[in-house]
């Protein structure tokens, strides 16, 4: 009889323990869910190892004639339930650990809202603000070509994330299609409408944040009318979330982005702030509020806090000072496990990223379906379907949390990891 290797967790050699970063956060989240997986826990190592990692060199010619090399990644964490799905991030601090964690959170998110996708994520270690339009196009096209061996409409479907938008998706779709010799609209989502994009996709993540936020607020007896809102990150997710909450009667009292932190207890004018950000690239210089320090942002007197920028923002340092009753994670991975525990002790309800920001990938799924059938739905139809998916998923996760007396994050992991590992078990191991 052959010996069976012990089913213990060992770290991959390509990611030393001291460089675990966000992947370490994810591993701790998996450890927390393992006791709830019953007999499926024998498959849990599947969740702790990405299925496939591709690291690519991206050489491009800069406008000044020099050749620059950038590092790019595409990680497919799990494809048991369907093709990989997840965004592409352009940021100077992108690391393998970050992309691995983001790809795993996509697996959990997609399974949590029951989309027929696995999880994947990509990124380039570059500050796109330092690139000209031509350089940005060249880096996007070369990256797409390099990862072209593992992406495709039925293999892995990228989408926008931090610092990538529909223009970048158009270049990615075109590059992949040129290499394939036929137009493949379904290879990316978040495309321009004219290229097979979906109505409602741009606002979808913020709309999802708002939808689950309303559901959570109702359950803790928090009235949205007059509620005070603080938002970190005023990009796609933060700005749309803020706008929808303000339309529902809330006041945006504080906002922070990479340029500045602003406070106005009477409420900032969201439309004017959006126009300012569009014109100036950030909230800095907006006159309808006073400036506060970045640290003060976390101490602002508010009812709802939406982190919608980067990961690991709510930490054991600032979690004890947060005054919100409800935190809705627009960003991926904004709360460390230590901060999670502090917030739970303080009875602050956290709606975790893996459900709160799933609106984007849900409408990405609708976009992918529409591209396959070449039949496009109305915006009302898309928004109605999105709201139903988000409400149903939230309700299921809320019930799971009540049954097991766990946080919404662990409940989402219970629902999602059970679905992923059931698929894993049903498919069996090859060979």
Catalytic residues: 121
Least distance in angstroms from the C-beta of 2 to ligand NAD:
43
Indicate which single residue of 98, 257, 303, 367 sits in contact with ligand NAD (rule: CB under 6 A). 257
- Segment 310-369, which members bind ligand NAD (CB under 6 A)? 310, 330-332, 357, 360
| Long-range CB contacts for residues 244-251, cutoff 8 Å, separation at least 24 | 244/206, 244/207, 244/209, 244/210, 245/210, 245/213, 245/304, 246/270, 248/210, 248/214, 248/224, 249/224, 249/225, 250/224, 250/225, 250/226, 250/303, 250/304, 251/226, 251/227
User: Judged by CB under 6 A, which stretch of 19-27, 252-260, 320-328, 383-391 contacts ligand NAD?
Assistant: 252-260
Binding region for ligand NAD (CB under 6 A) out of 28-36, 226-234, 339-347, 376-384: 226-234
Q: How far is CA 200 from the centre of its chain?
A: 17
Report how many residues bind ligand NAD under the rule CB under 6 A. Answer: 24
**Under rule CB under 6 A, residue 162 binds ligand NAD:** yes
Cα separation, 431 vs 424, in Å, equals 13
Task: Rule CB under 6 A: say whether 233 interacts with ligand NAD.
Answer: yes
Q: In whole angstroms, how close is the CB of 157 to ligand NAD at the nearest point?
A: 13
Nearest to 228 by CA among 184, 279, 263: 263
Instruction: Tell me whether residue 26 or residue 234 sits nearer to ligand NAD (CB atom).
Output: 234
Residue 94 in contact with ligand NAD, rule: CB under 6 A: no
Cβ 177 vs Cβ 151: under 8 Å:
no
Residue number of the CB closest to ligand NAD reads 235
Interface residue with ligand NAD, options 227, 235, 289, 417 (CB under 6 A): 235
Cα–Cα distance list, 65 to 126, 133, 142, 143, 400 (Å): 18, 15, 17, 19, 58
Which CB atom, from 278 or from 347, has the smaller least distance to ligand NAD?
278
Whether 136 contacts 385, CB under 8 Å: no
Which residues contribute to the site for ligand NAD (CB under 6 A)?
160-163, 205, 232-238, 256-258, 282, 308-310, 330-332, 357, 360
């Amino acid at each position: 009889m052959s010996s069976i290797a012990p089913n213990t967790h060992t770290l991959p050699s390509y990611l030393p323990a001291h460089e675990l970063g966000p992947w370490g956060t994810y591993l701790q989240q998996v450890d927390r869910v393992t006791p709830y997986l019953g007999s499926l826990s024998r498959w849990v190592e599947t969740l702790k190892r990405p299925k496939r990692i591709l690291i690519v060199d991206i050489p491009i010619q800069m406008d000044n004639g020099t050749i620059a090399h950038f590092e790019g990644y595409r990680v497919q964490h799990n494809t048991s339930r369907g093709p990989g799905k997840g965004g592409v991030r352009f940021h100077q601090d992108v690391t393998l650990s970050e992309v691995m964690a983001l790809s795993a959170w996509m697996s959990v998110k997609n399974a949590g809202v029951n989309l027929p996708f696995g999880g994947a994520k990509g990124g380039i270690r570059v500050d796109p603000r330092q690139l000209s339009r031509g350089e940005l196009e060249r880096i996007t096209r070369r990256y797409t070509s390099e990862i072209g061996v593992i992406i495709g409409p039925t293999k892995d479907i990228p989408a926008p994330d931090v610092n990538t938008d529909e223009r970048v998706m158009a270049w990615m779709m075109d590059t992949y299609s040129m290499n394939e010799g036929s137009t493949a609209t379904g290879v990316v989502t978040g495309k321009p409408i004219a290229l097979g994009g979906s109505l409602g996709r741009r606002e979808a993540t913020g709309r999802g944040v708002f939808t689950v936020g309303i559901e959570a607020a109702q359950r803790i007896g928090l009235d949205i009318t007059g509620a005070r809102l603080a938002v970190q990150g005023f990009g796609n997710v933060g700005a749309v979330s803020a706008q929808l909450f303000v339309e529902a009667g809330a006041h945006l009292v504080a906002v922070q982005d990479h340029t500045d932190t602003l406070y106005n207890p009477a409420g900032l004018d969201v439309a004017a702030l959006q126009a300012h950000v569009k014109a100036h690239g950030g909230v800095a210089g907006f006159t309808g509020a006073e400036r506060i320090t970045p640290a003060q942002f976390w101490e602002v007197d508010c009812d709802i806090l939406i982190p919608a920028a980067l990961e690991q923002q709510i930490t054991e340092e600032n979690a004890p000072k947060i005054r919100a009753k409800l935190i809705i994670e627009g960003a991926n991975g904004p709360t460390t496990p230590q901060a999670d525990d502090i917030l739970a002790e303080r009875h602050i309800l956290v709606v975790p990223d893996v459900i709160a920001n799933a609106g984007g990938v849900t409408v990405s799924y609708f976009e992918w379906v529409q591209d396959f059938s070449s039949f496009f739905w109305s915006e009302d139809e898309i928004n109605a379907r999105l709201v139903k998916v988000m409400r149903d998923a939230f309700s299921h996760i809320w019930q799971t949390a009540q049954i097991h007396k766990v946080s919404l994050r662990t409940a989402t992991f219970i629902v999602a990891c059970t679905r992923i590992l059931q698929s894993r078990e049903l498919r069996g191991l090859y060979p």
